[in-house]
Each structure stands twice: as structure tokens, then as C-alpha cells.
Amino acid sequence: MSAAVPGAPAAPAAPPAAPALRCTGLVRSFGGVQALRGASFSVAAGQVCALIGPNGAGKSTAVAIMGGALRADQGQVELHDTEITGWPSNRIARAGLIRTYQLSRELGRLTVLENLMVVPYRQAGESLWNVFARPGLVRAEERRHLDRALELLETFGLIRLRDSYASELSGGQKRLLELARSVMAQPRMLILDEPMAGINPALIDKIGEHILALRDQGVTVLMVEHNLGVVERICDHVIVLAEGATLATGLMAELREQPAVVRAYLGGALSDSTSS
């Protein structure tokens, strides 16, 4: 556990297991606004880790940088000891890091089933040559992907909606679909940007269970989350960002004892979560 003054370069966290993801000194400005000011943290392999902090702390900017959607002005991102700083998002995805979005971004005019079927990388049927010259190969591979997609839809309770357009789903169902889609990619590391936002408590528990199941399968999860009750229940480790820098890292129970964290940013939320 560590604490730092906002704005000052924070010491990297030192979680127990080897880090799956390590960010060092991330800096990013938008015009005159400095969204990240040297944030450093790491996520241990095989853990569920929460990234929390008040609005404007730089969480979404950090997620965008880790996922390759944004470039950092300074700093490094490493995924399983491979530096991925500045890689385009498709290359990062192929390296095993998949992210979801703060507002669900389903592929609206693809069916639920197709949202999963489209995921596997470098499908034989994505080659023009194979489509016309090797249809048998394409069909055989499609069968395998179809099996896996149906299995995941079953797991995530979306099987009955398989033929619906993704745009026709409810908010909670879109969250589940996004999670299922990410799992279809067989990631080593998942970054979930507010996976519980705007969904009912029953579904929150369900998504929490899915996240823990993923962890048990060896997937490392970093989730941006405002629901501290959920964070306390399912996260092994918590990173607190504030004003673009790492304020503290540790267990939720430990963070609750930190006067600086409680006083400056999380007081209300922390005491609320105790009763939730």
C-alpha cells in the first residue's frame, strides 16, 4: 500500500504477483488540461483490480491509453513485460488486451450471435482468397467459432437473443454482450470501463460473478468502477487515481483507513459502501 500527494509523481504499486500490466509515469494533456500527470500503477496477473477515483481523475484517459485508442505524451505501458506504448489498438488486442467501453458500444446492426462470431482474429473466412477458393476450410472454422459463440451466449444468458440485432438489446443486456464479446477474444487481460454503470442490482451481481469466473480462468481484470460496494466484494486490489496521478493502492479495507484518501476524495462514497 502506498499514498502520494496528488500531482506529485507516485511510486509504482507493488502487488504481490508478477504484473500483467504496468503503467509508468503516464502523462497526457488535452490542450491546456492535464488529464494524466505521471500516473503509475500495475496490475498483478490473475487478479481483479479496480481503478477508482473521482470524476476527472484520469481513469478513462488511462484506459484509452492502455487500450491504444490514445497516445500518451509521456510514460510507458507494459503488458506481460512487453512494452506496448503507442501500439495501435488492434495490435494491443492481438497481444491479449481487450477493453470494453464506458458507454456500451455494441455492433448494432450485427446480431447478438454475429457480435461474437466476428471476434476471432485472423479467421480463414476473412480472406478474400479463402472465401472463394477454400470454402470448406472457411465452413469448418465457422463451425468451431459457432460452437464457442453459442457456448458463451449460453453462459451469459443471451442465447434466446442470438438473432436479435445488438441495437435492440436493453442496457444491461448490452453490458453482458460486451463482456461476452470480450471473452470470445480469449484475452489474457481485460479492461472493463464501468461495467456496472446503469444496470440493475441483480445484473450487477451476475456481472460480478462472470468477472470472478474469468479471474478463476486466469484472465487478469482491471475495472474502472464507481460502485465501491462491488469493488470491495470482487476486487483483489484497488488503485486510486486523483488529478491524473496515483493517490494510493491497496485493498479496499486498507484504503478506507487512509485519512488522505478518505478526506480528499472518497469519504462519502466509502462510508456509503460500508452500508451497501
Partner 1 sequence: MQLVYYAVTLIFFFFLYCILNWGLNLQFGRTGILNFAYIAFVAVGAYFTGVLSLGSPIAGSGESYILGSTLPFPIPLIVGGLASSAFGLLIGLIAFRRLRSDYLAIVMISVSIVLYDVVTNFVPLFDGADGLNGVPEPFSGALNLNANSFLYVFAAFTGLVALAGWWVMSRLTRSPLDRTFRAIRDDPDVARGLGKNVFGYQMLAMAVGSFFAGIGGGLLMEFVGAFNTSAWTSGETFVIFAALIIGGLGNNAGMIAGSLAVPVIFVQLPKFLPQIGGNPALIPEIDNMIIGILLILTLWFRPQGLVPERRMTFDRLLAGRNRVPRLSLMPRLSLLARRGGDR
Write out the residues near partner 1 by the rule CB under 8 A: 67-69, 88-91, 93-94, 98-99, 101, 105, 107-111, 113-114, 117-119, 121, 123-128, 131-132, 135-136, 138-144, 146-147, 150-151, 154, 159-160, 162-163, 165, 181, 185
Closer Cβ to partner 1, 81 or 132, answer by number: 132
How many CB atoms lie under 10 A from the CB of residue 196? 23
CB of 144 to partner 1, least distance (A): 7
Task: State which H helix or E strand residue 272 sits in.
Answer: helix 267-275
The minimum distance between CB 258 and partner 1, in angstroms, equals 34
Q: Residue 182 or 273: which CB sits closer to partner 1? A: 182
Q: Cell numbers at residue 184, please?
A: 470470445
**How far does Cα 205 stand from its chain's mean position?**
17
C-alpha grid cell, residue 251:
485493498
Least separation in angstroms between residue 231's CB and partner 1 is 24
Residue 14 vs 131, nearer CB to partner 1? 131
Bridging pattern class, strands 220-224 and 189-193: parallel
Smallest distance from partner 1 to CB 90, Å: 5
Pairing of strands 245-250, 82-83: unpaired
Distance (Å, rounded) from C-alpha 229 to C-alpha 172? Answer: 19
- Give 187 or 244: the residue with its C-beta nearer to partner 1: 187
